[in-house]
């Protein structure tokens, strides 16, 4: 899939899940702290959610954030994934997530996050139901945990592990791209 097809697929997944869970646009927008207009644009593929938006949507609708990466795997090696087969989500604020795991139904899943210079997960803290960890492959990743606004900066080769529901946000405060391998349970 190309970038526009990926954005359209995410829009359909969000819309269909919201309808299935019997939320109106207004109800979901109120729960995630965004406007009805913004959420409508996301569901039509006009606007892209931030990482924080998608996390809030998944938490409100009762699915893990990784739900939005699910795609069927029509291939012979279900335990291998190749670059051309990977699902990609393009977020607002300069973050791209690529699902590198072959399946989402396993005990853990892996994502490669690419953060453009100045990219961030949004102003709101994320709180994912999964335990997660990361390994900085390239660049610098800055994390803010809980209510402690003192940032921690990680460099290539540094790793971290967060308990489920840990409130955090992250960003690339440099002028160079950053790549991080995330692992979610």
Contact 83, 42 (CB under 8 A): no
What is the pLDDT tens value at each position of the chain, 185 positions in all?
678 888 888 898 899 889 888 899 999 999 999 999 999 999 999 999 999 999 999 999 988 888 887 655 455 667 888 887 788 888 999 999 998 988 766 788 899 999 999 999 988 888 888 899 999 999 999 999 987 778 999 999 999 999 999 999 999 999 999 999 999 88
Q: How far apart are CA 49 and CA 133, in angstroms?
A: 22
Instruction: Identify the CA nearest to 175 among candidates 116, 123, 126.
Output: 116
Q: How far apart are CA 23 and CA 15, in angstroms?
A: 10
Instruction: Identify the CA nearest to 151 among candidates 112, 180, 121.
Output: 121
Question: For the stretch 139-175, what's the b/e string if a residue is b when 16 or more beta carbons lie within 10 angstroms of its beta carbon?
Answer: bbbbbbbeeeeeeeebeeeeebebeeebebbbbbbbe
Q: Report CA 121 to chain centroid distance, whole Å.
A: 9
Return the CATH number of the domain spanning residue range 83-184.
2.60.120.10
> What is the residue extent of each domain of the chain?
3-69, 83-184
**CATH fold for the domain made of 3-69:** 434 Repressor (Amino-terminal Domain) (1.10.260)
Helix (H, G, I), strand (E, B) or coil at 89: strand
Q: How far apart are CA 50 and CA 30, in angstroms?
A: 16
Instruction: Identify the CA nearest to 77 among candidates 104, 103, 109.
Output: 103
Residues 6+ apart with CB under 8 A from 63: 17
Q: How far apart are CA 164 and CA 167, in angstroms?
A: 9
Q: How far apart are CA 89 and CA 48, in angstroms?
A: 9
């Amino acid at each position: 899939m190309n970038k526009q097809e990926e954005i359209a697929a995410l829009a359909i997944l969000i819309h269909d899940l919201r309808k299935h869970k019997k939320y109106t646009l207004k109800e979901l927008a109120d729960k995630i702290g965004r406007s009805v207009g913004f959420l409508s644009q996301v569901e039509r593929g006009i606007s892209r959610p931030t990482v924080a938006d998608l996390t809030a949507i998944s938490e409100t609708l009762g699915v893990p954030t990784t739900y939005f990466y699910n795609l069927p795997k029509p291939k012979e090696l279900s335990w291998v994934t190749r670059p051309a087969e990977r699902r990609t989500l393009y977020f607002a604020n300069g973050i791209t997530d690529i699902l590198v795991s072959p399946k989402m139904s396993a005990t853990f899943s892996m994502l490669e996050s690419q953060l453009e210079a100045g990219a961030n997960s949004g102003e709101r803290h994320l709180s994912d139901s999964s335990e997660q960890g990361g390994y900085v492959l390239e660049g610098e990743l800055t994390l803010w945990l809980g209510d402690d606004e003192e940032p921690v900066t990680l460099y290539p080769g540094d790793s971290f592990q967060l308990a489920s529901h840990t409130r955090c946000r992250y960003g690339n405060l440099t002028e160079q791209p950053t790549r991080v391998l995330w692992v979610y349970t």
